[in-house]
Amino acid sequence: MDLTLSSHLLVYRPLEETALALMAENGFSKIEVWLAEPHVPWRHERGLEKFRARLAAHGLRAGSVHLPFYPSVGELLNEGKKWSLLSSETTARQTALEGAAEGIRAASFLGADCAVLHLGWPGDAWSQDHYSWARNAVAELLAVAKHCAVQLLLENIISKGTRTSSLVKILNELDPSGEAGICLDLGHAHVEGDVLEELQNALPRLAHLHVHDNDGTCDSHFAPGQGTIPWPLVLQSLEDHGFRGQAALELRDFSKGEKSSTEVLELEMRHLNNFRAQCLSEGLPL
């Protein structure tokens, strides 16, 4: 397992040099870049070029990206603006599709291996129309991803249509050659009730993980070990099945930008190091 860090942890502010340096100091060589402005200037080639150079200067690279599902952090928080590939409005679905396609091209520019896609939002009802819109979006984005040499990954996001069994079905239908895969979000799977079952169902297409914890009732994005995910069983199952993909820590800044990047990172790295020590003492693979 290749443990990486999602920049989601610092999404409330632009990624700063001090944060990049601290990521490297904590042993990360890859990050998952959360494509949201002004956090990362992903919609501007010149900005992406500078960002890629900044990563390299700290010995980092974009191992993966999370494709955008809102126009910017400010617009989401202050105006509630969201993008959804499953919107009932045709123009809104097209806007979301164009944003995702642009995100895949940004992933390619950054040299990322893969790009994680949300199909809609948690709690979507998933009527027959939703399944049709999802298949259409995935078909179009698969073509973009193939052209850009980026692996497209579908994520389970706490909705009926994004259970891993459903995602495998969509991919088997649209991508029989197996170029795309699944990003299993362990925290989301735990909220849905059975993380081990979701893991088992994802295995035929499992390519990537999102790693965080919760108490099984709320999508908290705690550091692993702070919730009730049965980590010994999960980690051993991944080891038994030979999972060697990237596993992005997708943690949350509970201060919502009030604390500095350094404070946020140092706190979460302490939690992570405690978890690593516990795994080591129990002989668990991490």
pLDDT tens by residue, 34-74: 999 999 999 989 999 999 999 999 999 999 999 999 999 99
- Which helix H or strand E contains 269, and what residues bound it? helix 261-281
> Whole-structure pTM over 0.85, yes or no?
yes
Partners of 181 in beta bridges:
153
- From the CB of residue 48, how many other CB atoms can be counted at a distance below 10 Å? 21
Q: In this prediction, what percent of the chain has a pLDDT beyond 70? A: 100
For residue 242, what pLDDT is reported? 94
Of 228, 158, 227, the residue nearest 198 (C-alpha): 158
Of 271, 275, 209, 273, the residue nearest 238 (C-alpha): 209
**How far apart, in whole angstroms, are the C-alpha atoms of residue 253 and residue 153?**
25
**How far apart, in whole angstroms, are the C-alpha atoms of residue 16 and residue 11?**
11
Contact 36, 281 (CB under 8 A): no
pLDDT tens by residue, 208-217: 999 999 999 9
Within 13 Å and on the Cβ side, how many CA atoms surround 64? Answer: 31
List the domains of the chain with CATH numbers: 2-281 (3.20.20.150)
**How far apart, in whole angstroms, are the C-alpha atoms of residue 107 and residue 92?**
23
Q: Span 117-134, mean pLDDT?
A: 97
Q: Is 118 helix (H, G, I), strand (E, B) or coil?
A: coil
Of 263, 192, 251, the residue nearest 222 (C-alpha): 251
- From the CB of residue 50, how many other CB atoms can be counted at a distance below 10 Å? 12
Judge whether residue 282 has pLDDT over 90.
no
- From the CB of residue 44, how many other CB atoms can be counted at a distance below 10 Å? 12
